[in-house]
Structure 1
């Protein structure tokens, strides 16, 4: 696992289990700006060739407690449609498509399209996706720009609905256990 750095949004998502196992975790904080800054910083500091993003996500498509490998990221909150752009498209960003494709790494995991946004999603996103988070797209875009491989696996904590805020917190420990087991299997 040389040349791999691990990034997660919050210590709450690891519950200290990774650190107890002697695994270094870089925490980005919540949201796309924090995630982009931390991803850039980690890549520059470590020289990693792969950035592994583990964390939590909501989904009305996948069952709670599932591990899902993200094979594509989209922005669920980029909306410049009044100017004629499709939802999810960053205007005038010609070098990078709106959808960021990731090469699968874990053949036995379900695969999903993750919609990233700076909001805690509790409804149906405006862009096609089957799980939601708040950091992944930004991490993947920094990786793409710097030619670093991005692998992302999300633990489904909630149904991205009106009880998501309650389910998210109560399911984090089991998620951390499953993500740690997956990490150790690499």
Structure 2
């Protein structure tokens, strides 16, 4: 059983754990319903959509590494708001981060808040951000927006936890390589996965 907050808990057998990379899941999640999507929004959307068609979960949990110049390395952050940070169609009169004709606002608010975990806004894009200075979001990754959007459209509860592996700065690539393996252990402790 995963206890998210006072209102929501889910049996482990009904939870889909989504990771971009197997290294983020490690052996901690190998006996659970785990999906490795690959890196980026397109891979995440494709693999999650396939998985939902095969076995519809009661809860989707997106876990993975992320950068932040706001939160500390090694901290786990619960993201409940999402921005598609590489969507820029201002030239046609849309707001920055707004997807034309989608009916969705630039800031997608969909996700459960986990008790005792700091809350963040995740900026998802198909690039490894190494010079983060934007204030619209304080966590950067490459998959969460797509996963949150699909969960919302499918009306499946969604929990997004990000392990801060780097500062989304000049040292991001080097820091990520060192920290990414620690994510699974942190998630296992937080979610009490055995």
Superposed pair shares fold, TM > 0.5: yes
Corresponding residue of 2:74: 65
Cα displacement string for residues 147-183 of structure 1 (whole angstroms, at most 9, x for unaligned residues)? 1111100000000001100100101222221012223
Corresponding residue of 2:63: 54
Q: Provide structure 1 residue ranges, at least 5 long, that are not aligned to the other structure.
A: none
- 1:118 is displaced (CA, Å) by 0.3
Cα displacement string for residues 97-136 of structure 1 (whole angstroms, at most 9, x for unaligned residues)? 2322134341100000000000001122656000000000
TM-score, normalised relative to structure 1: 0.92
| Aligned partner of 1:136 among 136, 144, 151 | 144
Is the Cα–Cα contact under 8 Å of residues 87 and 127 in structure 1 kept in the other structure?
no
Corresponding residue of 1:154: 162
Q: Provide structure 2 residue ranges, at least 5 long, that are not aligned to the other structure.
A: 1-10
Corresponding residue of 2:14: 3
Cα displacement string for residues 14-68 of structure 1 (whole angstroms, at most 9, x for unaligned residues)? 233321xx22311010000000111111211111121110111000000000000
**Ranges of 4+ aligned residues in structure 1 off by more than 6 Å:** none
Q: Number of residues paired by the alignment?
A: 183
| RMSD, aligned α-carbons | 1.7
- Pairwise mapping of residues 1-186 of structure 1 onto structure 2 (< 5 A)? 1=11, 2-19=13-30, 22-94=31-103, 96-124=104-132, 126=134, 128-184=136-192
